[in-house]
Each structure stands twice: as C-alpha cells, then as structure tokens.
Chains A and B, each alone.
Chain A
C-alpha cells in the first residue's frame, strides 16, 4: 500500500450552491473587515480624481505643515500641498504600480515554476540553479543594486520588483506543481499520450489554482510594502508623484513635534496590508480547504 501520496482535498467536490453557503457561514468578522478595506481602497484608487478635493501636486496654501483644518483635512505638507488629496492620489499610484509589478511577478514566476516542475530534468536543474543564485541575495539588496544602475522610474520599478519577487513565486509554484506532478493522474495523462501543454493546463493548473490565488494576495502586500519602503528611502516613486512612503519621509520632522500627520500615510499602507492579509487568511482557511497548521 503506498503511503507516500496524500489524496487531494475533499472539500471542493460539493456542488457549487452548498459550497457558497458554507463559505458564507464561515466568514469571520476579520474577513469581512478585510473585504471592506480592500473594496474601499479599490474604489479610492479608481475614482481618485473624483474624490480628492485638490490636485495631486497642487500647492493650495502658502503655509507649509499647516495643522488639520476644515479646508485641509490633514493639513498641508512641506510644500503647502493638501495632505488628504495627496494620500488619495497616492492610493491610486501605489496600488496601480504594485498591481502591475505583482502581475509581472506572477506571469514570470508561475510559468517558469510550473514548466520546471512538469518538464523536470535539465530544464528544471538549470532554471533552479539560476533562481538559487539570485535568491542568494536578500531581495531588497538585489533591488537596490539594480536601481543604482538603471535609476528609479515607474517602468524600472515595476520591472525590477517584478523580476526580483518572481523568484519567490517560482519556488512556490514549482513546489506545489511538483506535488501535483507526482500524482498518478498526471502520470496517467502521460501514459495515454497527452501533450505537455495539455498536462500543464488541464491536469496541474486546476489543482494549484487556489494556492496561487492566495499567494497573489500575499505578494501584492509584499510589493506594496517594498515600494513604500523604497519611496521612503527616496529611491522609489519620485516626486512630485504622490506616494505614501515618500510622504512619510517628507513630513517626518513633524514627529519630533508630536504631530501624527506623518503616520497617516504609513497607517494607510498598514491598513491595506492588514486588509489583504485578512482576506488571504479567509481564502486559505475556508474557501480552499487548506489549514495553516499543515
């Protein structure tokens, strides 16, 4: 009796209707909060120009670092621009760039990972060695090195972060794809004469989709944090484009006066990251039948 293979999860087999109601019953308050946050941020990003009271780079006041008031909800920054409006535009910029980078990461990482797992042999060995070498450096260092060479523009940020993070996605997709690739039903596909493409799309992919979706959420969070950190260091999104990270840096002196304004953009990042984490947690626990202690 072979004990080496674990049969895949049973949960997904129930008919769709009862699955939805089961999911519904199991959604925790944390998950609802996460959904609310994600939807809110999404709306803000989409409709930024309609929501923000002032322009992104518009100088609205001759008073820099003005206190919170009715006309300027969170006061003004070091150049006299409205902090509230800039935060809204920052949402759009950060989310757009992070989404683009994450999509790139996934396109590259999952393709390479699944092909590596299914094809095996030399292909797998070569790609894995290259990825291992790149991963021998902490990710931020890789990004910094590349940034020092090509400079920080929107395109370079998306491409560099996208490629750097693809190594993690590669490892994960390769690992889950391999778990599926050793299953008898994949071998059965090979024995009956299916092509590699068919095996990847029809046999392997449907079984790893839920893991990949969860990972997309996690990677998105990570990219948001990375971009914010880079902007905070002055190496990310360049002014005058609004970005939460650089806004923190620009207004940091206020901290020494006990003013929490610089914390607001940082809190905005934090809330988004927490919200996405909650949604991913919900997805992992209830929608896909995976548990965090396995």
Chain B
C-alpha cells in the first residue's frame, strides 16, 4: 500500500508544480507586450496621459516578479483584478465577466461528456471486437471524416439540417438563469450534438486502438486457447488491462472538449467562457485572457491527474509490489 500512496502523492505534487509553472508562463506572456500595446487597446488617438494612466493601471511600471506574485495571490483568492475594458468610474472586475459564463460552459461540457464518453467507449469496443467487419470499416470512415473537418463545418451543417431545413431545434442558443430544465436542454441540443459528434469521433478511434492493442496480447491469446468465449475474453481478460489506456484516451479527449467549446460557443453565440476568451483576445483584454487561460489550465491538469490516478489504481504491479 505504501508504494501506491507514494506514487499518488508524487503525481499530485507534480500536478501542482506544473500548474505553478504554467501560471508563470501565462503571466510572462505579458512580458511580450510590444510598445504600442496601450495604443492598440485604447485606440490610436489616445492621449499620452491616458496611455500613462493605463500603464499605471496595468502595473507596467512595476517589476515583473512583484506583478506576478500580486496576480497569483489574487488568483488564489478568486480575484483576477480588473478587465482592461474598465474605465475610471465603471470598473469591471474580471471575475464579474467570467463567473456567469463559467457555469454555462460547465453545463455544455458536462452534458456533452455525459453523452460522448459512454457512446465513444462502447463504439470503440464494438469496433475492436468486430474488427474489419463492415461495421468497423464504416465507423472508421465516418470518424475519419468527422475529425478531418473543422468543427464549425459540422456545426453549420447540423444547423442547416436540423434548424433550418427541418426545424427541429433552434439555431442559436441562449441560456438564462430562469430557464427551466427542459427549455435549457432544448436550447442546448444542437451545440451538445455537434460537440458530441466531434469528441466521440476522436475518442472512439483511440479506444478502438487501445482495445486492439490489448486484444493482441499473449495473455489474451492464452485465454483463447483455454477456450474462453468472446464475452469472457473481453470482460474478464481484456478490459481490466485496458482501463488505464482508456482513461488516458478520455482525459486526452476531454481536452479536445475544452477547446471545442470555444468554437462551438462562437457558432451558436452561446454565452460561455469560450466566447469570453475570444472576445478578450480580440480586444487584447489581457487580464481576462489570463484568467480564462488559467481556468482552462487547471481543468486540463486536473483531468490528466485523474487519468494518471486511474492508471495507477488499475496497475497490479503498483497495487501489489514484489
């Protein structure tokens, strides 16, 4: 047991360290700010006084390490400072911009994950079992096409088909806090379907490859030679050893999900973090960008950590050392 505990703690420490380094990277991107950055944000006709005030506001007159610690300290407390779109008298904190949208994105991502993960894994297992059958080949062709095309293409095709030609769903998605559950679902249907398609395609291919890898092992062949029927082969012999690779696949693809929400929110004009990030990049609103990036990073690192932990928990060599 001690070895496992040690390994788990090591991984968690590594995750925290990575998060720390990432925060430095995110923050230090500001060091790349070119000279005319202030003008780019405030507009070409900004007066020198406005520029100086802006620079003071951003804190560009202070040393980098001090700024970093201030930022990090604030971030831990949940305060990311003020957005560049603040004006004296109309302060807008980063948190006030992000908070409502965070919830929206979580709903979108959560729904998608809940549908996509079981779907992709079962399809992947089925394709691996009936390898090279017409089922496998057609699923392969379909997923290859889906991952080759841009997400907005899929989104618009679905909008065209399911919202315009055959008005089943609404083309745009707004979510208000007062909405009931059913109405929320109806509004979210198209974005969720689009994202699900894209994520499932990636996940299914990787699951299939992982299962095929396990099915080719000598101990699975041995189980065949012992006369095990196909179901027992998969469930008892292959699956326990495939859990770790599948966990990795899921974590990796949930990262795709994070990135996918950015595009999908833009297509469906959905008020989520992705949209906030894109708008902030467009207006060079660095504090908001940094806060969003940090949030994404935390999620990503957390997902990878969970996948790592699953791999550890299912590894008999770590559970039962020599």
Contact = CB atoms under 8 A, between A and B. Distances in A.
Contacts of B289: 144-145, 148
Interface in B131-162: 131, 144-145, 148-153, 156-157, 159-160
Contacts of B22: 133, 136-137
Nearest to B160: A255
Interface in B145-184: 145, 148-153, 156-157, 159-160, 164-165, 171
Contacts, number: 145
Interface residues of A, number: 45
Interface stretch (A17-25, A49-57, A112-120, A256-264): A256-264
Nearest to B295: A141
A252 B268 CA distance: 11
24 contacts: A133-B21, A136-B297, A137-B26, A137-B293, A137-B297, A138-B258, A140-B259, A141-B259, A141-B277, A141-B292, A144-B277, A144-B293, A148-B284, A150-B34, A228-B150, A229-B263, A232-B263, A235-B281, A255-B159, A255-B164, A255-B171, A257-B164, A269-B150, A277-B144
Q: Which of A141, A234, A263 has the most CB of B within 10 A?
A: A141
A149 B286 contact: yes
A117 to B, nearest CB: 22
Contacts of A138: 255, 258-259, 296, 300
Contact of A144 (B156, B209, B281, B304): B281
Given A232-B152, A255-B171, 8 more contacts: A133-B18, A134-B25, A148-B280, A150-B32, A234-B278, A262-B156, A270-B149, A273-B148
B282 A229 contact: no
A132 interface: yes
Nearest to B289: A148
Nearest to B19: A136
Across chains A and B, which 4 residue pairs bring their CB atoms closest together, nearest first?
A: A270-B149, A266-B153, A273-B148, A148-B281
A260 B22 CA distance: 42
Interface string B1-29: 00000000000000000110110011001
B33 A149 contact: yes
B31 to A, nearest CB: 9
B160 A263 contact: yes
A56 B262 CA distance: 29
A252 B293 contact: no
A214 interface: no
B117 interface: no
Given A133-B18, A146-B32, A233-B262, A263 B157 contact: yes
Contacts of B157: 263
Q: Which of A137, A235, A256, A294 has the most CB of B within 10 A?
A: A137
Nearest to A258: B164
B111 interface: no
Contact of B156 (A141, A146, A248): A248
Interface in B282-309: 282, 284-286, 289-290, 292-293, 296-297, 300-301, 304
Contact of B281 (A133, A147, A225, A269): A147
Interface of B: 18-19, 21-22, 25-26, 29-30, 32-34, 37, 40, 131, 144-145, 148-153, 156-157, 159-160, 164-165, 171, 209, 212-213, 216, 255, 258-259, 262-263, 266-267, 277-278, 280-282, 284-286, 289-290, 292-293, 296-297, 300-301, 304
A273 B160 CA distance: 22
Contacts of A133: 18, 21-22, 25
Contacts of B151: 229
A255 B156 contact: yes
Interface of A: 132-134, 136-141, 144-151, 221, 225, 228-229, 232-235, 245, 248, 252, 255-258, 260, 262-263, 266-267, 269-270, 273-274, 277, 292-294
Nearest to B260: A140
B160 A136 contact: no
A15 B131 CA distance: 33
A273 B149 contact: yes
Contact of A293 (B150, B171, B212, B280): B212
A269 B267 CA distance: 17
A140 to B, nearest CB: 4
Nearest to B131: A293
A266 B149 contact: yes
A144 B157 CA distance: 26
B300 A232 contact: no
A269 B266 contact: no
Contact of A141 (B159, B209, B216, B296): B296
B290 A145 contact: yes
A274 B293 contact: no
A277 B296 CA distance: 29
Contacts of B148: 221, 270, 273-274, 277
